[in-house]
Amino acid sequence: MDVIRIGTRGSKLALAQAHWVGRKLEEGTGLRVEIVAITTRGDRFLDLPVTALSGKGIFVKEIEEALLRGEIDLAVHSLKDLPSEFPPGLGLAAIPERENPADVLVSRSHLRLKDLPGGAKIGTGSFRRQAQLLHYRPDLHLRPVRGNIDTRLKKLEKGEMDALVMAAAGLKRIGCEDRVTEYLSPEICVSAAGQGAIAVEGREGHWASLRAAFLNHPPTAAEVTAERAFLRRLGGGCQIPVGALARVGDDDIRITGVVADQEGTRLFRDEVSGAKDQGERLGETLAERLLEMGAGEVLLLREKENVPRGAG
């Protein structure tokens, strides 16, 4: 029990997150941490769009299997990559305080979103971002782009697109926060459920999970619980345009949710608030409200088109 083995993806961002957790664990427990990089199915096919990869958890499945086999003691993920349900025997050991959950614009010309010329090419690998951006500015051209953060930034520098929309947290964690042109408000783009948060996953009752529990940040955990309940009620981690953002206040929690079609022509949005210990129920209530507004038709259409599920 003198070493904690942490499994993670091998990307620059994933390793930065795992090393951050590792340092906190070493400081808090006095134990030594080893980082184990694991290649996931999502990493092996970075030249394919996410929609071509069937199944849930394309960025976590292999890591969870290693965790179940006992090859690692904990797993560190971007929480938004986690499916809404865990394999039997696994669960969240901790959710540390999250970074800014916002999406950001990285513009080659340093122009803000509202100032980009009509027809500007915007790169994103997320249907959620695409739908909301097109709803806000249907004159933009959205281009699919995958790969790690460095790869995307290099494509921008080469002129393959005019701007990128990415997660603020990822850029900050790898030291590229200075590339941000604009932080997009939730009125323009609601972030993915769990965006900006790190998930520390472990085996239920295992000593490493118990030792990592001190990393948990209750306000972040409450927000993420509400967001994931919203997503779960809509049918799991959908690779369709679904966003959820919860914020804990002094006495309450407020959650905003959005469901849209891929083109952004039909967009359903609402928010609810209530006691902060009722986040899960509020997330489910918000999902029900959007379904009643007509969001269920969009979800059903995507199911009929056999769009696989994954992170949004």
Strand pairing class (252-260; 242-248) = antiparallel
Out of 73, 81, 103, 261, pick the active-site residue.
Answer: 81
Burial class (CB in 10 A: 0-12, 13-18, 19+), 123: buried
Token pair recorded at residue 1: 């029990």
In what side-by-side order are the strands of the sheet with 242-248? 242-248, 252-260, 267-275
Q: Is 81 a catalytic residue?
A: yes
List, in order, residues 6 or more apart from 178 with CB less than 8 Å away.
none
Burial string for 56-95 (b: 16+ CB within 10 Å, else e) reads bbbbbbbbbebbeeeebbbbbbbbbbbbbeeeeebebbbb
**Token pair 């952004």 in the structure block, residue:** 264
Q: CB neighbours (10 Å) of residue 159?
A: 9
Q: For residues 246 and 193, what is the distance between their CA atoms, to the nearest angstrom?
A: 9
Query: Which positions are annotated as active-site residues?
Result: 81
